[in-house]
Amino acid sequence: MVCTTDDPASELHYHQLLKQDEQTDGFKVLPAMRPDQALQISRTTYGAYLEQLSKVSGVVIHGFADLTAALRQRFEFFSQMGGSLSDHSLETFTFVPASEAQLDAIIQKGIANTPLTALEQNQYVTMLIEALMKLNDEFDWTMQFHLNSARNLNTPLFEKIGADTGFDSMGAQPDMVTQIQHLYTAMCAKQVVPKTILYSLNPNDWLALATTMQSFQGRSAQRLQLGAAWWFNDTAEGMTEQLRTFAQQSLLPNFVGMLTDSRSFLSYPRHEYFRRVLCNYLGHLATQGRVPDDLEQLGKIVQDISYNNAHDYFGFFQ
C-alpha cells in the first residue's frame, strides 16, 4: 500500500476509483491530509482557497468555528476513503494562543488580503494547529509534523520555475522545540494528544524532540515518535544518528521505521537502504556487548521496525 498527500479540499476522485480496484487486487492507495493551504493565511490565494473548501465541505466559512466545521467534514470524508494520517509542514512555529473573536478578525483580514502582523499569523497558525490536533485525536489519526525547513531560497528561480525545484535548505529556528513543547503542554492540559510523529530537518532538534515526546506518552504504545531521518538527513550517517537518539532516549523496538515521502518511485529502495543501516546499527551494539547477541531477538526487532510496528500503529488494515 501507499499513501498520497492530499489537500482537505480534494474530492479524492482517483482514490474513489482505486478503492474499487482494491476489491480485486488488494492493493491500497489511501489519502493522507495535508492542510498547508488552510494554514497559509498570508497568501493572496487564501480567500479563494476558503471558497473552495466551503464548496466541497458544504460549510460556508466566515470565521474560525466555520473553518473547523469544514475541516471536520473533510476528516469524515477522508476517513470514509480509508485515511487515517495527516501531515503538517511547520517551517517555523511560534506558539501564541488567541481567542475566537481574534481569530475571526484575523480570518476576515486574510480573506480580504489585508496585511497581517507576525503576531496575527502566529496566533492563527497556533490555534488552527490546536484544532487539527483535536480532530486527529477524535478520529484516531496519526499527526505528522515536518519542522524547521527553509524553502524557496533562490527567489529568481522560484519565480521562474516554482516551488519544490531544488532551492530548499535545513531551517535554523533555534527555539523550534521550545515552541512545540508549549503546544503539547497546552494540549496535554486539554487531554488532547494525538498519535504524533515529529520530524525535524535540523538534526540539532532531535535530542530535544526525543526527550520532549517522552513527557506526553500514554494511551497507546509509543504514541509519540521521533520521525525517521528526513530529506537531507536520510543518509547512512543521518539514519544512524536518528536511530541512536531514539534508542538512547526512548524505546527503539517501538519505532515505526522509515518514511518515503518522495514523489518518485525510484526513491522507494531507500526502505531497503534503511533496513541495512538498522541491521548495521544493531549489529554494532551486539558486537560491543550492549545488547544481547541473539539473532532471533534482534531479528524480531528488525521485523517490527520494518513492518509490524507501522502495521499496528497506523491501523491501515483494520
Does a structural domain hold residue 206? yes
Q: What per-residue confidence (pLDDT) applies to 221?
A: 87
| Helix locations, the chain, DSSP H | 13-25, 36-39, 46-57, 64-80, 100-111, 118-138, 155-161, 176-189, 206-213, 236-249, 270-287, 295-303, 309-314
**pLDDT per position in the chain (318 positions), as tens?**
788 999 999 999 999 888 888 878 888 899 999 999 999 999 999 999 999 999 999 999 999 999 999 999 999 999 999 999 999 999 999 999 999 999 999 999 999 999 999 999 999 999 999 999 999 999 999 999 999 999 888 999 888 998 878 889 999 999 999 999 999 999 999 999 999 999 999 999 999 999 999 999 988 889 999 999 988 998 999 999 999 999 999 999 999 999 876 666 777 788 999 999 999 999 999 999 999 999 999 999 999 999 999 999 998 887
Angle between helices 270-287 and 295-303 (to 10 degrees): 150
Cα–Cα distances in Å, from 168 out to 54, 201, 235?
32, 11, 17
Q: What are phi and psi of 30, to 5 degrees?
A: -110, 150
First CA to last CA distance, the chain: 13
* DSSP strand pairing (142-147 vs 85-90): parallel
Does a structural domain hold residue 183? yes
Long-range contact set of residues 285-291: C-beta below 8 Å, sequence gap at least 24 = none
Q: What per-residue confidence (pLDDT) applies to 71?
A: 98
Does a structural domain hold residue 223? yes
Does a structural domain hold residue 81? yes
* DSSP strand pairing (142-147 vs 195-200): parallel
Does a structural domain hold residue 237? no
Total tally of structural domains belonging to the chain: 1
DSSP for 177-197?
HHHHHHHHHHHHHTT---EEE
Does a structural domain hold residue 8? yes
Q: What are phi and psi of 220, to 5 degrees?
A: -155, 160
Q: What per-residue confidence (pLDDT) applies to 287?
A: 96
Q: What per-residue confidence (pLDDT) applies to 139?
A: 97
Does a structural domain hold residue 84? yes
Q: What is the CATH number of the domain that holds 71?
A: 3.20.20.140
Q: What per-residue confidence (pLDDT) applies to 162?
A: 86
Q: The domain containing residue 194 runs over which residues?
A: 2-229
Dist. CA 170–CA 146, nearest whole Å:
11
Does a structural domain hold residue 103? yes
Query: Which residues, at least 6 apart from 243, have a Cβ–Cβ distance to it below 8 Å?
Result: 252, 255, 277, 278, 281
In total, the chain counts a number of residues equal to 318
Q: What per-residue confidence (pLDDT) applies to 164?
A: 78
Would you state the cell numbers that stand for residue 4, as one nine-digit string?
498520497
Dist. CA 60–CA 51, nearest whole Å:
8
Q: What per-residue confidence (pLDDT) applies to 262?
A: 64
